[in-house]
Amino acid sequence: MMMIEFVKRTGYKPTAEEYKAIEAQYYDFDGDKNTFCRNWRAEMLRAERDTAAAINRLMIAEAEKHGCSTPYFLKLKELFFLIS
C-alpha cells in the first residue's frame, strides 16, 4: 500500500518514519488494505480516548490535591466519571 492510499483511507498523514512502521504492520497483517486501515484507525481512536481519559484523571487528582471543590468542578468530575 502506498502512503497516499493510507492517508486517503485513514485521514491521518504520517511522517516518513511513522509510515515505515505502519507499512511493516500492514505487511504482517492478514487482510486487505481497507480492513487494515479501518482497524488501524479504530485502534488510534481508542488510544486517543484512553490518553484523554488518563489526562483527565490526572487533572482531577491534581485539582483535588489542591482543594478544588467548586460546583462547576464537581459537576465536570461527575460527568467525566459517567463517560469514562
pTM for the model: 0.68
- pLDDT tens digits, 7-33: 999 999 999 999 999 999 999 999 999
Domain ranges of the chain: 3-83
What pLDDT is attached to residue 48?
A: 92
What pLDDT is attached to residue 55?
A: 83
What pLDDT is attached to residue 84?
A: 54
DSSP three-state, residue 69:
coil
- pLDDT tens digits, 31-77: 999 999 999 999 999 999 999 888 877 877 877 777 777 777 777 77
Q: 7: which 3 cell numbers?
A: 492517508
Q: 38: which 3 cell numbers?
A: 479501518
CB atoms within 10 A of CB 9: 16
Amino acid letter for position 72: Y
Contact 50, 28 (CB under 8 A): no
